[in-house]
């Protein structure tokens, strides 16, 4: 099991870290063998599937700070272990602090730096881990952390733009749902009850609306949980099963306008990932394989694997291998072929990533601008139908006297 210790050495200097031991006695023997006087030795719970200890989880902002800080410390000549120690002192967030303590413990045991990142696949992507591994081998940790920091900031900015653009449509959906729920559970039953008790026969249009509204209102406690359960099951099916992801990909790539955004987002991920990995010194085949895992669209993922396995491994050039795949835009394949001959492939890929990121941002803004009036119109039509179903029979009732 894992223990966290605080101990003093022969000079009285305090040190802390994590150690592996079968029990507390084993941990004390480990400290005694290194002439450390234990001050505190406590067992800690290990979580390897994602960093979510009592203090939350490591966020994108945390990762940006970590990479930027490490790059700065390495630039001014601080060794890696000292930089980690300073970070441990600076961070109060338990999730980050526990992770850094594990990094320090692994480094003190002579393990590779990237191994700790690789132990948390839900927090650090394969691209992140591969970049750290390549930088550790080549001695370019400072440059790699600078690039990672910039890349994480760009990704966070793009995600922020997407979320901001979708806030207003989401608010409209919530308001429309609230209005509909109120009308069918309170207003319609009251009005329908008036006509039923008075023996007056409303028009056919009104009877249909009343019938639908009364059915929904009378079964709302069944309908609402059913919608929630079905929605949750659908989300699980899409994100947790291969068939679900394939159906989602097919739906997105066949939906007008959304298809463009979906594919451009995949191209941005591919270009950004490959550019970063190639700049860090990874072989082109490994860079393409990692990009295939992060691209997010099955048709692009399969195409990248064919580029690697059926193209590069059989002696084709990068440009020729990409040109065989019709799923990629011709401008991309042509630029890849030209930049390969010129020896600037990673720079061109980085430019493509920036181009597609800007396109995604502008297309999402345009989509939201289109959705807003459509949703407002749908909301207006829904309320108008219910209102007319109530007003028309009341008008007929008043004019009959």
What pLDDT digit, counting tens, does each position of 319-359 carry? 889 888 888 888 888 998 898 888 888 889 889 988 988 88
Given pLDDT bands bounded at 50, 70 and 90, which one contains residue 229? Answer: very high
Tokens 């980690």 locate to 84
Same domain for 186 and 254, yes or no, is yes
Same domain for 138 and 118, yes or no, is no
Last residue of a domain, one of 124, 152, 173: 124
Q: What are phi and psi of 3, to 5 degrees?
A: -120, 145
Sign, Cα dihedral of 178, 179, 184, 186 = positive
Each residue's pLDDT tens digit, 199-217: 667 778 888 877 877 787 7
CATH of the domain at 10: 3.10.20
Which tops the pLDDT comparison, 24 or 80?
80
Same domain for 275 and 315, yes or no, is yes
- The answer on pLDDT for 45 being more than 70 is no
Express as a percent the part of the chain with pLDDT over 70: 92
Task: Report the pLDDT averaged over residues 270-290.
Answer: 86
Last residue of a domain, one of 76, 94, 124: 124
Task: State residue 53's pLDDT score.
Answer: 39
Same domain for 131 and 119, yes or no, is no
Tally the domains of the chain: 3
Each residue's pLDDT tens digit, 1-15: 677 777 777 777 777
Each residue's pLDDT tens digit, 57-97: 788 888 888 888 888 888 878 788 888 888 887 777 788 88
Each residue's pLDDT tens digit, 135-174: 888 788 888 888 888 888 887 887 777 777 778 778 888 8
Question: Whole-prediction pTM value?
Answer: 0.66
Given pLDDT bands bounded at 50, 70 and 90, which one contains residue 190? Answer: confident
Alpha carbon distances (Å) from 256 to 112, 159, 259, 378, 392: 47, 22, 6, 19, 39
Domain that includes residue 67, residue range: 54-124
Given pLDDT bands bounded at 50, 70 and 90, which one contains residue 44? Answer: low
Task: Give the integer Cα–Cα distance in Å for 47 and 293.
Answer: 24
Token pair listed for 70 = 């490490």
- The answer on pLDDT for 107 being more than 80 is yes
Same domain for 11 and 160, yes or no, is no
Given pLDDT bands bounded at 50, 70 and 90, which one contains residue 52? Answer: very low
Task: State residue 1's pLDDT score.
Answer: 64
Same domain for 260 and 208, yes or no, is yes
Same domain for 265 and 396, yes or no, is yes
If you average pLDDT over every residue of the chain, what do you get? 81
Same domain for 116 and 228, yes or no, is no
Alpha carbon distances (Å) from 140 to 119, 273, 294: 22, 17, 23
CATH of the domain at 296: 1.20.81.30
- The answer on pLDDT for 49 being more than 60 is no
Nearest to 8 by CA among 30, 39, 53: 39
Task: State residue 56's pLDDT score.
Answer: 62
Task: Report the pLDDT averaged over residues 106-126.
Answer: 85
Same domain for 9 and 155, yes or no, is no
Each residue's pLDDT tens digit, 176-189: 888 877 877 777 77
Same domain for 135 and 8, yes or no, is no
Same domain for 116 and 142, yes or no, is no
Task: State residue 29's pLDDT score.
Answer: 76
Task: Give the integer Cα–Cα distance in Å for 380 and 354.
Answer: 39
Task: Give the integer Cα–Cα distance in Å for 356 and 328.
Answer: 13
- The answer on pLDDT for 46 being more than 50 is no
Last residue of a domain, one of 76, 102, 124: 124
Same domain for 266 and 386, yes or no, is yes
Given pLDDT bands bounded at 50, 70 and 90, which one contains residue 397? Answer: low
Task: State residue 129's pLDDT score.
Answer: 87
Tokens 């700065």 locate to 72
Task: Give the integer Cα–Cα distance in Å for 277 and 286.
Answer: 9
């Amino acid at each position: 099991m894992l223990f966290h210790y605080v101990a003093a050495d022969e000079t009285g200097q305090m040190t802390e870290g994590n150690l592996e031991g079968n029990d507390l006695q084993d941990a004390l023997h480990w400290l005694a063998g290194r002439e450390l006087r234990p001050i505190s030795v406590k067992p800690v719970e290990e979580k390897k599937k994602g960093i979510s200890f009592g203090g939350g989880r490591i966020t994108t902002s945390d990762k940006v700070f970590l990479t930027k800080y490490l790059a700065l410390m390495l630039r001014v000549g601080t060794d890696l272990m000292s930089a980690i120690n300073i970070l441990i002192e600076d961070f109060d967030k338990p999730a980050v602090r526990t992770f850094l303590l594990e990094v320090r413990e692994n480094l003190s045991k002579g393990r590779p730096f990237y191994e700790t990142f690789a132990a948390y696949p839900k927090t650090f992507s394969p691209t992140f881990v591969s970049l750290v591994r390549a930088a550790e081998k080549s001695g370019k940790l400072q440059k790699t952390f600078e690039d990672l920091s910039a890349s994480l900031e760009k990704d966070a900015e793009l995600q922020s733009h997407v979320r901001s653009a979708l806030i207003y449509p989401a608010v409209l959906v919530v308001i429309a749902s609230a209005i509909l729920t109120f009308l069918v559970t309170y207003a319609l039953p009251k009005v329908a009850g008036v006509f039923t008790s008075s023996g007056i026969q409303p028009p056919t249009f009104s009877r249909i609306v009343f019938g639908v509204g009364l059915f929904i209102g009378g079964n709302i406690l069944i309908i609402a949980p059913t919608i929630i359960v079905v929605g949750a099951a659908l989300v699980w099916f899409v994100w947790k099963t291969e068939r679900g992801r394939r159906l989602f990909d097919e739906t997105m790539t066949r939906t007008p306008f959304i298809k463009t955004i979906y594919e451009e987002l995949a191209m941005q991920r591919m270009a950004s990932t490959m550019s970063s990995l190639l700049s860090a010194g990874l072989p082109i085949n490994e860079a393409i394989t990692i990009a295939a895992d992060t691209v997010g669209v099955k048709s692009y993922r399969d195409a990248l694997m064919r580029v690697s396995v059926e193209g590069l491994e059989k002696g084709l050039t990068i440009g020729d291998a990409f040109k065989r795949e019709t799923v990629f835009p011709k401008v991309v394949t042509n630029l890849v072929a030209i930049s390969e001959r010129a020896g600037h492939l990673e720079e061109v890929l980085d430019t493509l990533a920036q181009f597609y990121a800007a396109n995604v941002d502008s297309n999402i803004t345009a989509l939201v601008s289109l959705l807003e009036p459509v949703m407002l119109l749908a909301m207006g039509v829904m309320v108008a139908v219910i209102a007319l179903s109530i007003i028309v029979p009341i008008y007929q009732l008043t004019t009959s006297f």
